[in-house]
A and B are shown apart, each in its own frame.
Chain A
Amino acid sequence: MKKTLVFLLSIALLMTILTGCAHKHMPSPADPVTLTMWHVYGSQTISPLNTVIDEFNRSLGSEYGITVNVVSVTSSSAIDKALSASANNEPGAAAMPDLFTAYPRVAEIVGRENLLSWDAYFTKEELSAFRAEFLDEGYFGEQLLMLPVAKSLEAFYLNKTLFDRFSADTGITMNDLTAFDGVFRAARTYYDWSDGKNFLQINDYYHYAYVGMKAYGSELVRGGRLRLDEEAFRSIWSPLAEAAIYGGICLDEGYAAARWKTAEIIANTGSTADVLYQPSEVIYPDNTTEAIEATALPYPTFTDEEAGVIYRGGGLFAMRSEDERRNRAAVIFAKWLTEKENNLEFVTTAGYLPVTAEAFDALFADLDKIEKDNYRSVYAAVDTMLDRYTFHALPLYDGASEIQLDFEANVKTVLRSAYHQYRKRIGEGEDPEKVMEALVEGALSELIDLTVK
């Protein structure tokens, strides 16, 4: 009798344990998991990542009961801002997303301890499939907090249709656009040719300065501070400032793609991913439109000796959850997204580079497979840079994010101010060259002052 009782109790206990443990750690259709996601891969217009995520939701996600729900597709700075608001529980802020793509700087905003460590879920073999330089960027100490899913280089975009018209009149050709000196010269010429329109928008002055200083054998950042007082910086500052103060460079906030659409600018430096946002036509105020051809060129160089470019594109972060199923769901999605075929499908429709060595080789083995002209142009430019350029990752240091954003805003502020002064003073009859010289110098001093403060 006693044995029977013990047997029955054992069965009851076993059943309880088994039913309790059956789906504790893995997501399943019976107990679905929805992961909210904010990402930067796309815009309000189109998002290749959303398309790929739909595919995931319908295939592997469906098998595991995982839904990746994209709530926001925006810029990295907007994500930084929103994450900061969420992390600090600011009134009106959204709940933290389960997944988000961002730059490494965000780890400090969110708190490393709150982020999922991918290396705990990937085998060494799985991690070895990634390109080492992309993977290294995601390590914070021993922990891999940022998983590379797509990377981009900077490139130079040109509205070839309008440029050809400009070129025919001025003699400035696309060959002049291989180095920044030529670009700035074209910008000044275009300003005159177009009756005061900007030729160019530089999407990231911090990148410009970082690569430029490297080209002159120096470093923009030393000891966690920007070295704007160095001669190398003066070398890259002067041509930029001259073109901007003259009026050839757009100094307003906002996306270059929107300005392309209204033909406010015809060129910009930006991520290879900007190809996604390039319009196929320009719209004039009377609602007439004109089809345009866009092309991509390698990032302009600073010197003949050293060609460099920033590679960028943050990575995928996941919030660590107490519910292990959510962590597993994030990992299942991340592994699926970085598989060769899925990764290639995603990156090649978004202008990015794949993150595994196998996918990388497959992409550049045959660029003719890329259907769209503007995308093929971008990958051709990247191919050129792969051969000749040095790739630089941005350094991570205390306050890097804030310093970068401040530098960006300060450059625009001082140059915008100088531009207005320049136009005012030469309108008043002052010697343009002298005014320019003074304003270039004054703007630099002002920038240094603002940066030091």
Chain B
Amino acid sequence: MRSFLKFGLPQLIRQIKNGEISIRRRFIAYIISAIALVLSLVLLFLNLFGIMNPSSTQIMDVLDTQLLSYADNIERDYDKAAAHAISFSNQLEAEIQNYLTENNLEFAGLKNDSDVLSALQGALYDIIYLNMQLAPASGAFYILDTTVNSRSDVPLYNGIYLKYINIYSESTVNNDIALYRGSFSTAKEGSITFHSGWSNEMRTDFFDSCDTVFSNNTQYILSPVVEIPDTWERARYVYVPIRDQRDSIIGVCGFEINDVYFQLSKKTNDDKLGQLIGALLDERQGVFSCQFNSGRYNTIHSSDVKVTEKKGNAVFDLGTEKCIGKTQDVIFGEGTFTVALMLTEAQFDSLVQRGQVKTVGIIFAVVLIMFAYCLFLSRKYVAPILRKIEQIKDSENDGEQLKIREFDDLFNFIERKSSVLEEQLRTLKTAKQAAEQEAARAREAYERALEEYELAKSEILHLSEESKTEIVLEDYEYFLCNLKTLTPQEMRIYELYVDGKTTAEIAGIIGIKENTMKYHNKNIYAKLGVSSRKQFLRFATLKQIQDRKGKQNG
């Protein structure tokens, strides 16, 4: 890609600018540019509307949305539990007062009287049982500030604490109940099973948070998560005060929401994100008290939980692993709690990675489709044009139409023009050929005339030169006048000399001896008045020229 940018792209741009690029490449480049532009605009709009946000943002958006309903669900459930607790308390207050009145007792008089306290438990059992059935909880309790044995080494409270033996689902309808705290007789009379961690009474330090003083305005309290003694469970408690007629607090009552019940009733999943981890947290003196909807995290020690903020998201360090999520504050009673919804870091990273792969995949697919579309258009649209151009170049037009009106018109126009030009070319070629032939002929005549002219000119020049030096006009006239005096044999010899034959050749032709030739020559010379063979030949040649000219002229 880098080398493409370094060498390919600038070269391509230069080629486009200089018009060096083929129509096909230019076409593909333009189409890709157009699609890329449209794609960029679409992506820009999608981004503006948050549809194409980075995966991590999308995940957090989904978590945010889920958190709204999740927090609402938790708030509603705890509010409902609190409402039941207040009603429960009112019922207990009325029944306790009723019991005390009927038996002519004071609350303080209950201490150390196991029979009376057992009887009171019997009187209150139905109330706790019914309220437990109604409330969204895993257990219900009331404790009173009294005991069957004030001499016990460990300070104790008397009361009843019922727990569902097993909670399989959010619905507790089918669950059996066990007596976790309460008198022996309460279990027997109610025919209920003893919890395996059963004891008669509750230690006063049983609920750390139960010691909290209810201010006038505090109607209920949601406790931090505490370990339930003698069990493997942890729970939060929603509890309210029980008051006597003088409005003094004589105990508390409420409901237990253990980890298992929280897990089952606060499950949450998302179609896109999969399994989500939900939690209800509260922080006291830097230590988080947490209840998760996954048993995996409910075993983590509170001090190991650390929450930090990163880019508007909450990062939960749970000791062995980290989670990323969103939080929302909710208020229960007087306390501020935090509802959190999160994903494990591995889950989050995987989702982000999956999102990135998906985006890259989409872009890759779009580019691929774009590429294929360009190829298709090139083949369907550009290739026939190029073919047509080639055909027209080669004058082999098959007459097939491109079915593109403008191009068809153009090519038809070019073809018509081409036919006219071809005809004109043919005519010009014929004319050119005739002209060339005529020119050749003229050139030949000219050259011949020129040659003759040059010959005559040189002859005249020669003669004029000779005449200047040798020829005497009287001698030549004498020669011409006496030429007719020559005998036939001498005339014949004379003509053979004019024809350019040598003396020997002439003797051979005539069949005479050299001495005879000499004799004839002497006679010829004498008759014609020449003194030398040279003068003889000069006069003879001059006469020949004159004879030829005479013939030409007339």
A395 proximal to B (CB < 8 A): no
State whether B346 touches A30 (Cβ < 8 A). Answer: yes
Given contact pairs A78-B165, A255-B196, A288-B149, A1 touches B375 in the complex (Cβ within 8 A): yes
Give the complex CA separation of A452 and B178 in angstroms: 34
Give the Cβ gap from A388 to chain B, nearest Cβ, in Å.
32
Name which of B1-9, B123-131, B294-302 contacts chain A. Answer: B294-302
Number of interface residues of B (CB under 8 A): 61
A404 proximal to B (CB < 8 A): no
State whether A95 touches B169 (Cβ < 8 A). Answer: yes
State whether B368 touches A38 (Cβ < 8 A). Answer: no
Name which of A42-50, A136-144, A358-366, A416-424 contacts chain B. Answer: A42-50
Chain B contacts for A255, CB-based, 8 A: 193-194, 196
Chain B contacts for A288, CB-based, 8 A: 149, 152
Given contact pairs A257-B196, A283-B200, A44 touches B178 in the complex (Cβ within 8 A): yes
A194 proximal to B (CB < 8 A): no
Among B197, B361, B364, max chain A CB count under 10 A is at: B197
Given contact pairs A82-B174, A94-B168, A71 touches B264 in the complex (Cβ within 8 A): yes
State whether B148 touches A254 (Cβ < 8 A). Answer: no
State whether B350 touches A262 (Cβ < 8 A). Answer: no
Contacting residue for A44 out of B165, B184, B199, B351, CB 8 A: B165
State whether A93 touches B295 (Cβ < 8 A). Answer: no
Chain B contacts for A30, CB-based, 8 A: 346-347, 349-351
Give the Cβ gap from B183 to chain A, nearest Cβ, in Å.
7
Contacting residue for B194 out of A29, A33, A258, CB 8 A: A258
B275 proximal to A (CB < 8 A): yes
State whether A44 touches B195 (Cβ < 8 A). Answer: yes
State whether B148 touches A287 (Cβ < 8 A). Answer: yes
State whether B263 touches A50 (Cβ < 8 A). Answer: no
Given contact pairs A5-B372, A45-B232, A70-B295, A29 touches B184 in the complex (Cβ within 8 A): no
State whether A31 touches B357 (Cβ < 8 A). Answer: no
Give the complex CA separation of A30 and B372 in angstroms: 35
Residue of A nearest to B343 (CB): A32
Chain B contacts for A342, CB-based, 8 A: none
A69 proximal to B (CB < 8 A): yes
Give the Cβ gap from B451 to chain A, nearest Cβ, in Å.
71
State whether A69 touches B294 (Cβ < 8 A). Answer: yes
Give the Cβ gap from A38 to chain B, nearest Cβ, in Å.
7
Chain B contacts for A15, CB-based, 8 A: 361, 364
State whether B174 touches A92 (Cβ < 8 A). Answer: yes
Given contact pairs A42-B232, A44-B178, A50-B232, A71 touches B260 in the complex (Cβ within 8 A): yes
A217 proximal to B (CB < 8 A): no
Q: Jot down 14 A-B pairs with beta carbons below 8 A, ordered by A.
A: A12-B361, A29-B350, A32-B274, A33-B275, A44-B197, A57-B295, A62-B321, A71-B167, A71-B168, A78-B165, A82-B166, A93-B169, A94-B168, A257-B196
Using a CB–CB cutoff of 8 Å, the interface residues on chain A facing chain B are: 1, 5, 8-9, 12, 15-16, 19, 28-34, 38, 42-47, 50, 54, 57-58, 61-62, 65, 67-74, 78, 82, 85-86, 90, 92-95, 97, 254-255, 257-258, 261-262, 277, 283, 285-288
Beyond the given A97-B168, A287-B201, please list 9 additional residue pairs across the A-B interface where CB-CB is below 8 A. A33-B275, A46-B231, A47-B232, A90-B174, A93-B169, A94-B171, A254-B194, A277-B196, A285-B114
